[in-house]
Amino acid sequence: MKMAIIGSGPLAILTAAHFDQIGAEVVLFQRSPLGGNVRFLMEEFPELKIQYKNENISVADFFETVIVPAVVELEKFELTKRGDVLRVHKRFLHKEETAPNRTRMHDLFRVIYSQNPQDAILKQLEENPEFFKQLGDDVINSLHKPVESFEDFDIVIEASGMGKAPVPIGAGGSLALNENNLKESSLLYYEKDIFTKLDLENKKSVVIAGEGASLKLALLRFKDWLFKIPGRELHWVTYKAANTPCGNVWLDSEVARLLIEVETKFDKSKLEFEKKMREWRDLEDYVKVKIPKPVEPIPLLVIHQGYDVTSVDRLLDREGVFATIEAPDFRDFNTNKAEMMTLAADALCIARGVSSKNLASGLLNDEPGFYALQSTDIDSALFEIKKIEEKILNYFKKA
């Protein structure tokens, strides 16, 4: 039985390792280096706790003791293939079609994937430069373009987990007005780009919109930046209540500590401001005109709960990005909100999670032999993998 596993993260790795151990002929299609989000989290938040086999384990320990050995085993037997899977369909069967006197399992799945041939070309160029000189620049340039290939399988498991497209900033996971025009600019940052591409050094004001674990991880990214230099401010826009749990106890507690620290520092700065104001008011008038009036402190973090970002804009005569946020009247957990306001920022960050990537639009919704792991945590995924195994084994039982 030949089986394709699609994904680069822990779900795909554990799935491939499981079915390899029970004797399936496995090919793991990886778009990026194996490890996925766990590799990213290990680098940014090694102490983040996750649930694995009913125990709390740090991401760093999980990566070193579970993921690395599994990857070593898979690569040892050359069970991985580097490529971005573009689509999955039956070789010949259409959705409404069946083979006479046979099930749809009679026809194999065709996995179409894209490969970037650049690495192989560079290696061949080093080994045989004279041959490549004869080809000419036009031919060599054409060889750098991604090439589509395919392979056929009995079973396909889509286990890409978090390796999907970021959810846009607008309500319901839709694009906000003008978001599509600005999303490739250096002003909007989505998901991992908040960690890997956003340079905070010269930023004074940032707007971040989102909910859940993605948002809370991103909030922690701004902790040192907020406290390092006075005058910086972060605006958090969310349609939910700010204290909504994300499902990870470690993350919830770390963000709660951050919010308390921010509030404590702001309360302290307000007391200092009030003291300076009293001292300034007590000065003689001729002295007061020579000494600037104390500047009232601004909150380091302003939470706009109950709001959606409905528009993002740039102005010709001003730097930065402008986010228009609106709050409907049916979200009543924040009684002090205005219906609409505009936030100016040096950068706009979107941390709303990722959306599904439909690789199998040419298949039935319940296509026999095609499975998509829906779990967002490791323990649920392990249970789901066992259920998939049971379904596959049922194909080999007598009717």
pLDDT, residue 22, reads 94
Asked whether residue 305 is domain-assigned, the answer is yes
pLDDT, residue 4, reads 98
Residues 207 and 109 reside in one and the same domain: no
> How many structural domains compose the chain?
2
**369 touches 156 (CB < 8 A):** yes
Asked whether residue 178 is domain-assigned, the answer is yes
pLDDT, residue 316, reads 80
Residues 136 and 211 reside in one and the same domain: no
Residues 175 and 305 reside in one and the same domain: yes
Asked whether residue 399 is domain-assigned, the answer is no
Residues 250 and 129 reside in one and the same domain: no
pLDDT, residue 218, reads 95
Residues 325 and 211 reside in one and the same domain: yes
The DSSP H or E segment spanning 312 is: strand 308-315
* Average pLDDT along the chain: 88
Q: Of the candidates 319, 335, 351, which is a domain's last residue?
A: 351
pLDDT, residue 32, reads 84
Residues 126 and 274 reside in one and the same domain: no
Residues 338 and 278 reside in one and the same domain: yes
Band the pLDDT of 104: cuts 50, 70, 90. very high
- Segment 40-65 shows an average pLDDT of 92
Torsion of CA 24, 358, 178, 209, to 10 degrees: -50
- Segment 365-369 shows an average pLDDT of 92
288 is in which domain, residue-wise? 171-351
pLDDT 10s digits, 53-99: 989 999 999 999 999 999 999 999 999 999 999 999 999 999 988 88
- Segment 243-264 shows an average pLDDT of 94
Closest CA to 88 of 388, 375, 358: 358
pLDDT 10s digits, 265-320: 999 999 999 999 999 999 988 888 889 898 888 899 999 999 999 999 998 878 89
Asked whether residue 38 is domain-assigned, the answer is yes
Which CATH number belongs to the domain containing residue 253 in this structure? 3.50.50.60
3-state secondary structure of 104: helix
Closest CA to 309 of 280, 275, 348, 277: 348
Residues 189 and 228 reside in one and the same domain: yes
pLDDT, residue 332, reads 73
Residues 312 and 362 reside in one and the same domain: no
Asked whether residue 56 is domain-assigned, the answer is yes
Residues 247 and 312 reside in one and the same domain: yes
Instruction: Report percent pLDDT > 70 for the chain.
Output: 89
